[in-house]
Amino acid sequence: MRIGIIGAGAIGGTIAALLDRAGHEVSVTARGEGLAAIRRHGLRLDGAWGEHVARLRASERLEATPELAFVCTKAQDAASALRDNLEHLGGITVVMVQNGLEALETASGVLSRSEPVGGLALYAAQHVEPGRVTVTARGSTYLGDGPGDPTDAARRAAAVLGAVMPTVATRNFLGAQWSKLVVNMVNAMPALTGLSVQETIRDRRLGRVVTASMRETVRTGSACGVRFGRVQGLGDGLLRVFSAMPLRAGRALPLLMARRMGSVPNLGSTLQSRRRGRATEIDYLNGAVVRAAAAIGHDAPVNAAIVAAMHELERTGSYLTADQAAALPLR
Listing DSSP states for 168-236 in one string gives: EE-S-HHHHHHHHHHHHTTSHHHHHHS--HHHHHHSHHHHHHHHHHHHHHHHHHHHTT-----BTTB-H
- Whether 236 and 155 map to the same domain: the answer is no
Mapping DSSP to helix (H, G, I), strand (E, B) and coil, where does residue 98 land?
coil
Classify residue 331: in a domain, yes or no: no
- Whether 90 and 215 map to the same domain: the answer is no
Average pLDDT, the chain: 95
**Integer Cα distance of 61 and 69 in angstroms:** 12
Task: Place 261 in a pLDDT band, splitting at 50, 70 and 90.
Answer: confident
Mean pLDDT, residues 282-311 taken together: 97
- Comparison of pLDDT for 308 and 115, the residue scoring more: 308
What CATH code is carried by the domain that includes residue 188? 1.10.1040.10
Of 71-75, 230-234, 247-251, 316-320, which gets the smallest average pLDDT?
230-234
Among candidates 265, 138, 264, which has minimal Cα distance to 200? 265
Mapping DSSP to helix (H, G, I), strand (E, B) and coil, where does residue 89 land?
coil
Buried residues in 266-300 as b, exposed as e (16+ CB within 10 A): bbbbbbbbbeeeeebbbbbbbbbbbebbeeeeeeb
Among candidates 176, 179, 177, 187, which has minimal Cα distance to 101? 177
Query: Residue 296's pLDDT is what?
Result: 98
Domain end position, chosen among 171, 196, 230: 171
Query: Residue 330's pLDDT is what?
Result: 77
- Whether 59 and 186 map to the same domain: the answer is no
Partners of 4 in beta bridges: 27, 69
- Whether 134 and 11 map to the same domain: the answer is yes
The number of helices, as runs of H, and strands, as runs of E, in the chain is: 16, 12
- Whether 192 and 311 map to the same domain: the answer is yes
- Comparison of pLDDT for 279 and 66, the residue scoring more: 66
Query: Residue 128's pLDDT is what?
Result: 81
Report the percent of the chain where pLDDT is more than 70.
Answer: 100
Classify residue 291: in a domain, yes or no: yes
Report the percent of the chain where pLDDT is more than 90.
Answer: 89
What CATH code is carried by the domain that includes residue 56? 3.40.50.720
Query: Residue 98's pLDDT is what?
Result: 95
Domain end position, chosen among 171, 189, 213: 171
- Whether 226 and 297 map to the same domain: the answer is yes
Query: Residue 269's pLDDT is what?
Result: 87
- Whether 81 and 201 map to the same domain: the answer is no
- Whether 124 and 189 map to the same domain: the answer is no
Number of Cβ atoms within 10 Å of the Cβ of 241: 12
Query: Residue 144's pLDDT is what?
Result: 96
Mean pLDDT, residues 293-300 taken together: 98
Mean pLDDT, residues 249-261 taken together: 92
**Edge-to-edge strand order for the sheet containing 43-47?**
52-54, 43-47, 132-137, 124-129
Mean pLDDT, residues 172-178 taken together: 96
- Provide the residue type at 211 as one letter: T
Query: Residue 329's pLDDT is what?
Result: 81
- Whether 20 and 148 map to the same domain: the answer is yes
Classify residue 139: in a domain, yes or no: yes
Tell how far CA 13 is from the center of its chain. 13
What's the longest Cα–Cα distance across the chain? 54
Classify residue 143: in a domain, yes or no: yes
**Integer Cα distance of 130 and 28 in angstroms:** 14
pTM of the model: 0.94
Task: Place 242 in a pLDDT band, splitting at 50, 70 and 90.
Answer: very high
Partners of 54 in beta bridges: 43
**Integer Cα distance of 258 and 207 in angstroms:** 11
Element (H, E) at 309: helix 301-316
> What's the angle, vertex CA 181, arms to CA 260 and CA 245, rounded to 5?
75
Structure letter (DSSP) for residue 60: S
Classify residue 69: in a domain, yes or no: yes
- Whether 165 and 191 map to the same domain: the answer is no
Q: pLDDT (tens digit, 9 = 90+) per residue, 116-173?
A: 999 999 999 999 899 999 999 999 999 998 788 999 999 999 999 999 999 999 999 9
Task: Place 264 in a pLDDT band, splitting at 50, 70 and 90.
Answer: confident
Query: Phi and psi at residue 113, in whole multiples of 5°?
Result: -120, 20
Classify residue 211: in a domain, yes or no: yes
| Position 254 pLDDT exceeds 90 | yes
Mean pLDDT, residues 14-24 taken together: 98
Classify residue 216: in a domain, yes or no: yes
| Position 74 pLDDT exceeds 90 | yes
Query: Residue 331's pLDDT is what?
Result: 67
Mapping DSSP to helix (H, G, I), strand (E, B) and coil, where does residue 141 land?
strand
Q: How many distinct structural domains can be found in the chain?
A: 2
- Whether 123 and 231 map to the same domain: the answer is no
Mean pLDDT, residues 178-194 taken together: 96
Mean pLDDT, residues 277-305 taken together: 96
Mean pLDDT, residues 109-113 taken together: 92
Classify residue 196: in a domain, yes or no: yes
Among candidates 270, 287, 155, 169, which has minimal Cα distance to 229? 169
Which residue segment(s) compose the domain that 153 sits in?
2-171
- Whether 243 and 103 map to the same domain: the answer is no
Domain end position, chosen among 171, 189, 204: 171
CB 179 within 8 A of CB 228: yes
CB 303 within 8 A of CB 295: no
